[in-house]
Amino acid sequence: MLSPFTPHLAEELGAGRFPGLVASERFPSVEEFPRSEVAEAAEAFLAMVEDDLRNVMRPLLDRSESVPDEVIFYVAASWKRLPELWIREALESGATANIGKVMERANAHPELVAHRAEIPKYVQRIAPLARSEGPPSPIPIDEVDVLRSAQGYLVKRFGFKAISVHREEDAEAVDPMHRRDRARPGRPAFYLARRDGAPAPPSAG
């Protein structure tokens, strides 16, 4: 329906910006657009989230069950970044992720003191996973912002009716199955919910 008007609209919008007709101008090349490492990191992060969702939902879809109504994402608390970094540093050097050494380093960081009880459990759970994973992206992104910006895309991609995104430390009221503890930097946890009271499939983090 718009095809008869598009050329005229293009000429109006491009008036004064080109020496001739917009329709006769060359199409811009990829090289003319600046590369954004943040955008690429966000795209890779979102692809990983999609893979995690598919892996958890695959058994459900294989049984021809309906898609859960809602997915609730839990983005990792900021205190987890340093312990995970130290775990990876130890593994990359050929050592093991020693809880005692992680705790020693944590003592030098005031922001970690309040989480001393949580750090050993986190190290025990994360070390085996980090050993089998590739290195994380060195480019920091705002995971909450990326997930919220992608809500419409994920709804269409998977057929959810609703998506919500919460920071781990603020999610107690929306975490009936205590999934938020599984959230990691760069790898949000999530809970798949049904609104009719039927049991949802296992959720991941």
Per residue in 150-175, pLDDT tens?
999 999 999 999 999 999 999 999 99
Give the integer Cα–Cα distance in Å for 198 and 174.
17
* pLDDT score recorded for residue 23: 67
Tell me how far apart the alpha carbons of residues 56 and 148 are, in angstroms, rounded to a whole number.
20
pLDDT value at residue 200: 58
N residues, the chain? 205
What is the pLDDT, as a whole number, of residue 156? 95
pLDDT at 31: 75
- Residue 82 to residue 104: CA distance in whole angstroms: 12
pLDDT at 5: 60
Q: Looking at residue 195, what is its pLDDT?
A: 80
Measured CA to CA, the distance from residue 94 to residue 139 in angstroms comes to 24
- Decide: helix, strand or coil at residue 66: coil
- 149 vs 133: CA distance, rounded Å: 26
Residues of the chain with pLDDT under 70: 1-5, 7-14, 16-18, 20, 22-23, 25, 197-205
